[in-house]
């Protein structure tokens, strides 16, 4: 897998998407249908006229039966169909980070609409299959047609929940990783970020842990791809630590899964009114994770 040393431009990302789509024999219109956007939107992406947020990038990769890293490995390949003239628009960020300037440890209240907030509460209380658009409308104090005006189906609400979850995780976990200078430090910080998210965003985390079975196939593939890429971030640090002799495990992949599962199970028992704060628990979990890898850390 090639390293991407600088933030790719919108033109480079769009070109990579176009090449992947063409290689798979997928028309522009078909890709638009698969990711539920207009053909004009796909055209704008492929021509570098609009930036690609992390959720949409993963949706495109899943729709093309590939992974994000495999998709971005096409960056820098020659592309005779693209326009790289001196008059091309300025490079735009690959991922638009709406949390710029905020610490990955800070969890402000989410700004979400009343319908989605009601759906989150309903899914947590009744489960996806126990919830209905009517029960969500009642909780949101809206009419059923009013709910449908904002979301076309209950499935769209579930997808929105997971898109928020994955977008936030992909903002927080890499930000935590980048504060470390060694695999030990980076892995510890990433586990802390994962643990904090699963406590501070407990309801969203519960939905993510319990409702994968409720996704329609295309949505399940996309969310699974997102989860796999997040797991890859942990696995990469563990692999580097093993290579450097910093981690002592003969099952690095199993250790990585155990560490992530440890974090995703937190919403099942954590309560805001418990005896320990999320910050204390997250620090403990980071220490536990390093212990799995043979690194002893003094308990403060």
Residue pLDDT, tens place only, 68-100? 666 766 665 544 433 333 333 222 233 334 434
Closest-CA residue to 179 (of 196, 167, 191): 191
At which residue do the structure tokens 């006229």 appear?
49
pLDDT band at 35 (very low <50, low <70, confident <90, very high): confident
What distance in Å separates the CA atoms of residue 58 and residue 71, rounded to the nearest whole number?
10
What confidence score (pLDDT) does residue 85 get?
A: 32
pLDDT tens-digit map of 171-212? 899 999 999 999 999 999 999 999 999 999 999 999 999 999
pLDDT tens-digit map of 246-277? 999 999 999 999 999 999 999 999 998 888 99
178-181-183-184 Cα dihedral, nearest 10 degrees: -110
* Cα separations in angstroms, 1 against 9, 67, 252: 19, 12, 19
| The pTM of the whole model exceeds 0.85 | no
Ordered domains of the chain (ranges, CATH): 10-72 (1.10.260.40), 156-292 (1.10.357.10)
Encode 171-188 in three state secondary structure. HHHHHHHCCCCCHHHHHH
């Amino acid at each position: 897998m090639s390293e991407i040393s600088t933030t790719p431009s919108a033109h480079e990302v769009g070109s990579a998407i176009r090449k992947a789509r063409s290689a798979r024999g997928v028309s522009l219109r078909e890709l638009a249908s698969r990711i539920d956007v207009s053909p004009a939107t796909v055209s704008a992406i492929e021509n570098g006229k609009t930036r690609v947020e992390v959720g949409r990038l993963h949706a495109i990769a899943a729709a093309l039966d590939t992974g994000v890293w495999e998709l971005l490995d096409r960056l820098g390949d020659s592309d005779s169909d693209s326009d790289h003239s001196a008059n091309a628009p300025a490079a735009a960020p690959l991922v638009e980070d709406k949390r710029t300037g905020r610490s990955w440890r800070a969890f402000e209240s989410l700004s979400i609409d009343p319908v989605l907030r009601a759906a989150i509460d309903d899914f947590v209380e009744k489960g996806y299959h126990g919830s209905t658009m009517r029960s969500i409308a009642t909780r949101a104090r809206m009419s059923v047609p009013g709910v449908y005006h904002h979301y076309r189906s209950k499935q769209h609400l579930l997808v929105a929940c997971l898109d928020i979850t994955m977008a936030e995780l992909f903002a927080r976990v890499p930000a935590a990783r980048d504060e470390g200078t060694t695999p030990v430090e980076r892995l510890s910080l990433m586990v802390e970020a994962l643990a904090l998210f699963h406590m501070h965003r407990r309801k969203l985390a519960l939905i993510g842990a319990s409702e994968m079975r409720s996704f329609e196939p295309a949505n399940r593939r996309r969310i699974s791809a997102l989860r796999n890429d997040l797991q890859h971030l942990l696995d990469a640090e563990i692999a580097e630590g093993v290579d450097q002799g910093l981690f002592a495990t003969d099952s690095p992949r199993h250790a990585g899964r155990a560490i992530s599962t440890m974090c995703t199970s937190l919403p099942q028992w954590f309560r805001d009114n418990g005896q320990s704060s999320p910050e204390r628990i997250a620090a403990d979990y980071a220490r536990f994770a390093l212990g799995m890898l043979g690194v002893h850390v003094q308990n403060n």
